[in-house]
């Protein structure tokens, strides 16, 4: 009997690590997750990860073959296969994570940051299947991005290209987790819109249910829900967020001339309340030759296990590069 070839896609986040075994068409055969326990050292983490993966492998062994591994992880260096100074993990300076997994499972292993993996997932299994030039923006706790040019992910000289979350909006603006002031992600992300809501509550006098929620308990989802109910503060916050993001995306278009910009993450559930201001302010600020050409889209993988699909897509993408 022919065995099905599967890629193991692993997404390592600050809170949870998810993985799944995915075939070339994007069907997920087994999936599981475990708490990352960000305070654990990487050795302790890997023991737990291997145990959980091995349990999932038992059910697959008879009819499937593990071909390779793709990993999406914060500060993942694609060229070196290392995780370097991850912001939310107590792993120390540099972890040769790809080499460790390769040793454990004896298959080719690749890693990159989570937003790059998401872009590859979109190209292999999502809305960008027919595209060769696009930018994927993830609006989560921070703002991540993956840039695809001529069918290839852009890694840059050191493997870290595409950090749009840290382009500058205002040199005297909000303090960012990276130490700079006024980075895009301090405005356009779940955390950023929360900061905006807080500022608008101080500046505006309108009623809002959001006023009853303590700052530490306020989430991007709550703001999205409030906007969908017509809450004035939430709507103003989405307008503000969309204006800043649209302005900076106009710069991105000038650099790359993408066919589309794809937005991903919980905030996109606000739909037109988010997309309309982005589109308006992007178009207003575009260099004329780019006007009315760039599509603004929402992810084709929302609601699916997109992180795992993206990580597995990294492996399948590498395999295709070899056979091209």
Footprint on this chain of Zn ion (rule: CB under 5 A): 166, 176, 178, 180, 183
Residue 175, helix vs strand vs coil: strand
Among 184, 188, 189, CA closest to 171: 184
* CB of residue 183 to Zn ion, shortest distance in Å: 3
DSSP class of residue 211 equals: G
* CB of residue 83 to Zn ion, shortest distance in Å: 19
Positions of E strands within 129-175: 134-139, 143-149, 152-153
Closer to Zn ion by CB, 10 or 183: give it: 183
How many Cβ atoms from other residues are within 10 Å of residue 61's Cβ?
Answer: 10
Closer to Zn ion by CB, 26 or 182: give it: 182
- Kindly give, in sequence order, each residue whose CB lies less than 8 Å from that of residue 2, ignoring residues fewer than 6 positions away: none
* CB of residue 181 to Zn ion, shortest distance in Å: 8
* CB of residue 46 to Zn ion, shortest distance in Å: 29
Closer to Zn ion by CB, 163 or 231: give it: 163
**Order of strands across the sheet that contains 28-35:** 28-35, 16-22, 4-12, 64-72, 109-112
Give the CB-side neighbour count of residue 38, counting CA atoms within 13 A: 12
Closer to Zn ion by CB, 183 or 270: give it: 183
What does the block give as tokens for 105? 């499972």
Residue 122, helix vs strand vs coil: helix
* CB of residue 251 to Zn ion, shortest distance in Å: 16
What is the helix (H) or strand (E) element at residue 109, kind and residue range? strand 109-112
Closer to Zn ion by CB, 177 or 300: give it: 177
Residue 226, helix vs strand vs coil: helix
Cα separation, 311 vs 307, in Å, equals 6
* CB of residue 173 to Zn ion, shortest distance in Å: 10
Closer to Zn ion by CB, 121 or 192: give it: 192
Closer to Zn ion by CB, 102 or 166: give it: 166
**257 CB-contact burial (10 Å; exposed 0-12 / middle 13-18 / buried 19+):** middle
* CB of residue 192 to Zn ion, shortest distance in Å: 11
Beta-sheet pairing, 260-264 with 4-12? unpaired
* CB of residue 143 to Zn ion, shortest distance in Å: 9
Closer to Zn ion by CB, 175 or 254: give it: 175
Residue 9, helix vs strand vs coil: strand
């Amino acid at each position: 009997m022919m065995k099905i070839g599967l890629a193991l896609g692993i997404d390592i986040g600050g809170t949870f690590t998810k993985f799944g075994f995915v075939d070339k068409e994007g069907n997920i055969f087994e999936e599981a997750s475990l708490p990352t326990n960000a305070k654990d050292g990487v050795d302790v983490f890997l023991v737990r990860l291997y145990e959980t993966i091995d349990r999932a492998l038992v059910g697959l062994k008879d009819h499937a073959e593990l071909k390779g591994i793709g990993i999406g992880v914060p500060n993942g260096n694609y060229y070196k296969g290392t995780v370097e100074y991850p912001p939310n993990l107590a792993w120390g300076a540099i972890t040769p994570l790809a080499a460790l997994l390769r040793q454990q499972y004896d298959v080719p292993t690749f890693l990159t940051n989570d937003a790059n993996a998401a872009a590859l997932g979109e190209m292999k299994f999502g809305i960008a299947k027919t595209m060769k030039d696009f930018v994927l923006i993830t609006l989560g706790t921070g703002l991540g991005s993956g840039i695809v040019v001529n069918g290839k992910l852009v890694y840059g000289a050191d493997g870290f290209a595409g950090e749009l979350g840290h382009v500058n909006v205002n040199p005297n603006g909000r303090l960012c987790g990276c130490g700079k002031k006024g980075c895009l992600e301090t405005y356009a992300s779940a955390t950023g819109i929360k900061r905006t809501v807080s500022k608008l509550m101080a500046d505006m006098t309108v009623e809002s249910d959001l006023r009853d929620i303590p700052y530490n308990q306020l989430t991007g989802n709550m703001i999205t829900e409030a906007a969908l109910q017509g809450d004035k503060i939430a709507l103003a916050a989405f307008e503000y967020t969309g204006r800043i993001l649209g302005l900076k995306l106009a710069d991105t278009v000038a650099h790359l001339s993408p066919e589309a910009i794809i937005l991903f993450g919980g905030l996109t559930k606000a739909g037109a309340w988010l997309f309309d201001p982005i589109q308006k302010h992007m178009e207003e600020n575009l260099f004329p030759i780019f006007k009315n050409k760039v599509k603004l889209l929402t992810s084709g993988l929302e609601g699916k296990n997109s992180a795992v699909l993206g990580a597995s897509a990294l492996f399948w993408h590498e395999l295709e590069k070899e056979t091209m």
